[in-house]
Structure 1
Amino acid sequence: MKHLVSPAIIRPCSSRFAASFSCHPVLTSRSLSTTLSRKEQKAAQPQTPATESIELGAPVTYISESHDPWFNLSYEDWLLRNTPHNQPVLFLYRNFPCVVIGRNQNPWKETTPHKLRESGIPLVRRRSGGGTVFHDMGNTNFSIILPRLLFTRSHGAELVSRAIRERLGIKDCTVNERNDVIIRKGENEYKMTYKIIQHRAYHHGTMLISSSLSELGKSLKSSSPNMETKSILSHRSPVTTLNHHLPPSSSPSSSSSSSSNKHIHHDDFVQAVTSEFAKTYSNTVEKKMETKEVNENWIKDPKVWKGVEELKSWEWQYGQTPEFTNSLEGELSFGSLSASLSARHALLTSLTLHLTPTLHEATEITTTKQSFLDSLALSLVGHRYESLDGAQGALGHEWEDEKWREMGNEVINWLRKVM
């Protein structure tokens, strides 16, 4: 069955992109620095056993005007599933500040969710794998969608690194053995937060252009050192931004003579990657590339909005988490408390609370407190990790006294803080 993109959800590139792309929906040959022969173009495409046998359709670039991470990730997935299978697709977008984790990651091992909430930074779980990244308006996200038989782990990184070298003038930009886009300076490697994620033929990357590295560092800090998890852990590497590596005497071709415009901006990166994508996949006579803007107000397909709802749900955001265990310790008003727990799908499957009593406390009192804690721990099994939604305290009529309710509240509040 042939898949078609409904013309009602997209419009030809306009507004501020018109100056950069001459956006008539076709990116003209004037926008490209060179025109490749068919042989050269094939050589620039992924090299797999199917390279010569697959006839690609005309490429399309989609540029999102939305900064909503849930919308952009849902629309990205929609493009993957609904554009023609032989059509090269490039999708570019920016998100407001947020932390995005991979499908099989543990949010508490990668970051500290309650601190993100206190800072007003959403935690978003994408549908594809890979590591955790920080998004803000200083970085640009890109996806390259190709036929599955043309998928290679290096192609997306190589295409982007060529765009950075040849169109933005950062000659030290290259690709490492992990297929990350990096910038080499002497013996050091500065890694962009770029990941290749395989889902059909799907490459996804996050390019830091002028992001706040201090906010990135704070947002990607976990407060769960004792947690053991079956989830995929992020590969921690030093990061930098493109603007830290601009040649002293050069600036993007789209910049004016003003010194304030010498830095790379989102539009510069978009133009560079789009032009490189067009050079690789567009034949200016037979397969002209269209560049289209995407506005969430134009999107009517219910699949996109159902995807947004799913990405925002607790069941996806946290319930997708693989099994994990954790050990916690703290000082409470009635003594030192340690907790050992296990969870699956972010629901507690076991919990043990152990009390180290205060000095000179009578054994009988310590035993009673421990019995209360045992009952409380049992009552919390099955509740959501960290939020403990609906937790009411220990089970049994013997714990209905006010002092036990206060002790139970203290323990629950402590657990919510340290989980």
Structure 2
Amino acid sequence: MSALSQAICRPCSSRFAASFLHQSQPLTRSFSTSLSRKEQKAAQPQTPATDSIELGAPVTYISESHDPWFNLSYEDWLMRNTPHNQPVLFLYRNFPCVVIGRNQNPWKESTPHKLREAGIPLVRRRSGGGTVFHDMGNTNFSIILPRLLFTRSHGAELVSRAIREQLAIKECTVNERNDVIIRDGQKEYKMISGSAYKIIQHRAYHHGTMLISSSLTELGKSLKSNSPNMQTKSILSHRSPVTTLNHYNPSSTPIHHDDFVHAVTSEFSKVYSDPTHSKKMETNEVNSDWIKEPKVWKGVEELKSWEWQYGQTPEFSNELEGKLSFGDLSTSLTARHALITSITFHLTPSLHESTEETSQKQAFLDSLALSLVGHRYESLDGAEGALGHEWEDEKWREMGNEVIGWLRRVM
């Protein structure tokens, strides 16, 4: 094992690794384990640098952690710290969570306060792409390669080939967006894996989800936004019908996480291992309890911060309407980095209210709007505060709290 591997993980000791590395346990599915040198080269990314880069021995890392912040931080650490010429495969599962792309708007892609009520974390990853739902029926994969070998299609093709050839789901293929899909009929398809990418100086990765037995009901509920009028400069998700591997599984035995891991790892080894030149694939188990690397844990802290989770959001505007005890209220606002930059209220008063009363309430709302500028969108942290001596009466304080409570519910 390399010094790098010794520093960050241990040889795989899981049930999967034992069967893969030593073939000591019978497998429920048989896998092809070799390619000719010509076939292997053809299965690797085809770029102008393909023939000039000498690849090192491939390494697979299998995480035993289900913490999305740890797994995403560790993935980023692997990309930045493994040798530039080394093919790396990283596989992991997360407990239920919603993961948005680097340049997305959490309120346009989901309803964050409802996620919090359901105990489902919202996580912003470092790569682009759209929003996905993770649970324990979903396995995540990441293929890390030299930047000069990077193509957007390679990872998806490798994974779809593993599913077709090693899990016997012949309908599995790749669409023009490089999503892994199930072709259902002549024209219709359902996505089982979306794609996202990240490129740095010497390295690049393609990572994606694989819906094996995920709850599609929970997926649909979690990816529903209550802000249809929001206008945003963020990247919007491409909404597609989805399905699971097990829905198209021809075997009477359900596909599980270990089956998918075994299939993809076997395919990765076929493409990048070369036993004749001492380039056998190394497989390592990753446990968060073993990881002492400070950069990994600093990354976890950054991913959990409000500044990254919400403050990364591109500029947006929203229109809100509601019926409050004192009349109908409409609101227009803009926000940048999830901080309110402008907000206005327009009051449609209750019937039989005098013009003077309406004017006074509107004046209060104008004052309240000014006080909300600079506050965090939705949470409005610290918004309950003094609006000046003019509005210290309990009547205005109750009206202000009603407006702020309403905003928190509808934002």
Same fold by TM (over 0.5)?
yes
Which residue in 2 is equivalent to 1:72?
A: 71
1:226 maps onto 2:229 in alignment: yes
Pairwise CA distance, 1:6: 5.0
Identical aligned residues as a percent: 83
| Structure 1 gaps, min length 5 | 25-30, 252-258
Mean Cα displacement is larger for which, 283-292 or 91-100? 283-292
Pairwise CA distance, 1:23: 5.0
Which residue in 1 is equivalent to 2:270?
A: 279
Could you say what secondary structure the match of 1:211 adopts? coil
Which residue in 2 is equivalent to 1:333?
A: 325
Which residue in 2 is equivalent to 1:11?
A: 10
> Does the CA contact (< 8 Å) of 1:23 and 1:291 recur in 2?
no
Pairwise CA distance, 1:274: 0.1
> Does the CA contact (< 8 Å) of 2:128 and 2:196 recur in 1?
no
Alignment of 1:286-305 (within 5 A): 286=277, 287-305=279-297
In structure 1, distance between residues paired with 2:364 and 2:117: 32
> Does the CA contact (< 8 Å) of 2:102 and 2:128 recur in 1?
yes
Q: Give the alignment's TM-score, normalised by structure 1.
A: 0.93
Mean Cα displacement is larger for which, 177-186 or 141-150? 177-186
Q: Give the alignment's TM-score, normalised by structure 2.
A: 0.95
Which residue in 2 is equivalent to 1:206?
A: 209
In structure 1, distance between residues paired with 2:349 and 2:395: 17
Which residue in 2 is equivalent to 1:365?
A: 357
Could you say what secondary structure the match of 1:55 adopts? coil
Partner AA of 1:271 in structure 2: H
In structure 2, distance between residues paired with 1:137 and 1:55: 37
Pairwise CA distance, 1:396: 1.8
Partner AA of 1:412 in structure 2: I
Partner AA of 2:84 in structure 1: H
Pairwise CA distance, 1:16: 1.4
In structure 2, distance between residues paired with 1:155 and 1:4: 29
Alignment of 1:111-150 (within 5 A): 111-150=110-149
In structure 1, distance between residues paired with 2:330 and 2:19: 60
> Does the CA contact (< 8 Å) of 2:127 and 2:196 recur in 1?
no
> Does the CA contact (< 8 Å) of 1:4 and 1:84 recur in 2?
no
Alignment of 1:83-122 (within 5 A): 83-122=82-121
**What per-residue deviation string (whole Å, max 9, x for no partner) do you get for residues 168-196 of structure 1?**
00001001111110011213201113213
> Does the CA contact (< 8 Å) of 1:170 and 1:246 recur in 2?
yes
**What per-residue deviation string (whole Å, max 9, x for no partner) do you get for residues 333-379 of structure 1?**
00000100000000000000110000111000000000000000000
Alignment of 1:375-386 (within 5 A): 375-386=367-378
Which residue in 2 is equivalent to 1:237?
A: 240
Pairwise CA distance, 1:284: 1.8
> Does the CA contact (< 8 Å) of 2:190 and 2:241 recur in 1?
yes
Which residue in 1 is equivalent to 2:26?
A: none
In structure 2, distance between residues paired with 1:293 and 1:140: 15
1:267 maps onto 2:258 in alignment: yes
Could you say what secondary structure the match of 1:128 adopts? coil
Partner AA of 1:205 in structure 2: G
In structure 2, distance between residues paired with 1:4 and 1:149: 25
1:346 maps onto 2:338 in alignment: yes
In structure 1, distance between residues paired with 2:315 and 2:136: 33
Taking structure 1 as reference, are residues 385 and 23 closer, same or farther at Cα in structure 2, changes over 3 Å only? Answer: farther
Partner AA of 2:77 in structure 1: W
1:185 maps onto 2:184 in alignment: yes
In structure 1, distance between residues paired with 2:123 and 2:232: 19
Pairwise CA distance, 1:17: 2.1
In structure 2, distance between residues paired with 1:7 and 1:23: 20
How large is the RMSD of aligned CA atoms in angstroms? 1.4
| Structure 2 gaps, min length 5 | 24-29
Which residue in 2 is equivalent to 1:256?
A: none
In structure 2, distance between residues paired with 1:137 and 1:40: 34
Matched pairs, number: 399
In structure 1, distance between residues paired with 2:176 and 2:17: 37
